[in-house]
Structure 1
């Protein structure tokens, strides 16, 4: 009897192993959350986008989330955004959006349906390529309008202002960003947002006369129900070789995804 029991046990063990081996890998675990990223599909920022996709792919595997990409706002409406817990705006400007897309995005942010992280071109606010400024988005970013930028690039030191914010966890009090354009605006957004970090304009190398004085570069708008953070730095692929930058990016994702 013991011999028969041992044989049956061995057979069941064999079958269980075979069934596990044949099970689709995608069925092993459900994604923790879903991300939609909008990114330019050409132009001089494409190298940043390509590097971001590689880095985000590795992070998605590590933290068990999925990420889809779109290269224009044509598909954006309420039903589309309902699929995602986080919207990442990778170097994509706040113009060329249809009225439908703008309305859906505004609702997504104001009602807290999901979180948002924007980079670089997300504050290219003004009249560009024949499009008017998206006034709501300007208010979202602190009531600012794009004014100028350092076209020849500069290395600079960024100072953390709010060390307790989750996006800044593990970020040193001061860190260096190399080869960035450093936008300026018609005014500082500080009065209308919560500033997390600013750039020290006296540290520009080479020195530049394109300055703001008070120059925030990372901030969040606490007036919105959606968790949101804008990170100005986002021009070149070399940023993904900077461990502080990638930690900042990762922190932003893990914070903004939650309601």
Structure 2
């Protein structure tokens, strides 16, 4: 018989085991949090307006993708704090729902440098081609060139379904996409001209496929493109106003591919 009763030894061993298990469980989150993200993303979206439902759905989807794919994402709702120093942290800038006007002067300078020098990648949705004179602001001439020299003219306020045709199936952002896919309830902006001569078109919408039919057409109608004249990896994706888009597998595939391509991870 030992120095301590057997019952005491069992209790002591049980307590020690519990302490080891608790210590291990306590350390696991700390170890997970200390792991550096693969890359950092900044997303800009207005905190209001009739597209707020899209931005809220996008945030849920993006947060889940970030958690699953080990990247970090931050959100801002205006450009007040945006400057060159602020952007140093980020390998990707997503203009989720924000037009190219009303930016603070420091933000304009920082963003132009970010794209011109290839400091990081850029994905723009929907409002990024709201180019013209709006709310008393002049058109941002640099952004006008960045988007292929187009000016906003009109849109379909009652919405229409449309068939998007992939033109460059070899582009990484189109990986896993069918040759054609449907986008429902979209506004389909029209411009004063097609951006095609100044950009590389990846996909366009077939205006004859609109349901209901609309007379708001421009003939050649690109809806996804990249501008190879800028050092940063960049892609504009027109579709981005309805939260229902996140139930569309084609759309979420494009969005996911665009993130990893523009961030230089594919």
TM range (shorter): over 0.9
Could you tell me which residue of structure 1 aligns to residue 157 of structure 2?
151
Cα distance between partner residues in 1 of 2:43 and 2:182: 26
Report 1:230-241 matches (<5 A): 230-241=236-247
Work out whether 1:128 is the aligned partner of 2:146.
no
Work out whether 1:185 is the aligned partner of 2:191.
yes
Cα distance per residue 1:82-105 (max 9 Å; x no partner):
010100001210001011110100
Could you tell me which residue of structure 2 aligns to residue 8 of structure 1?
none
Work out whether 1:23 is the aligned partner of 2:27.
yes
Give the Å deviation of 1:19: 4.1
Gaps of at least 5 residues in structure 1 are 1-11
Equivalent position SS for 2:162: strand
Q: 1:165 to 1:25 in 2, by over 3 A?
A: same
Match of 1:69 among 71, 75, 81: 75
Equivalent position SS for 2:164: strand
Equivalent position SS for 2:206: strand
Match of 1:165 among 144, 164, 171: 171
Give the Å deviation of 1:27: 3.4
Gaps of at least 5 residues in structure 2 are 1-15
Could you tell me which residue of structure 1 aligns to residue 91 of structure 2?
85
Greater Rg by CA: 2
Could you tell me which residue of structure 2 aligns to residue 103 of structure 1?
109
Equivalent position SS for 2:119: coil
Cα distance between partner residues in 1 of 2:223 and 2:187: 12
Return structure 1 stretches of 4+ with deviation > 6 angstroms: 12-16
| C-alpha RMSD of matched pairs (Å) | 1.7
Report the TM-score when normalising by structure 2: 0.90
Give the Å deviation of 1:30: 1.4
Report the TM-score when normalising by structure 1: 0.93
Work out whether 1:247 is the aligned partner of 2:250.
no
Equivalent position SS for 1:187: coil
Cα distance per residue 1:109-158 (max 9 Å; x no partner):
01010000000000000000010000100100001110110111000000
Match of 2:59 among 47, 50, 53: 53
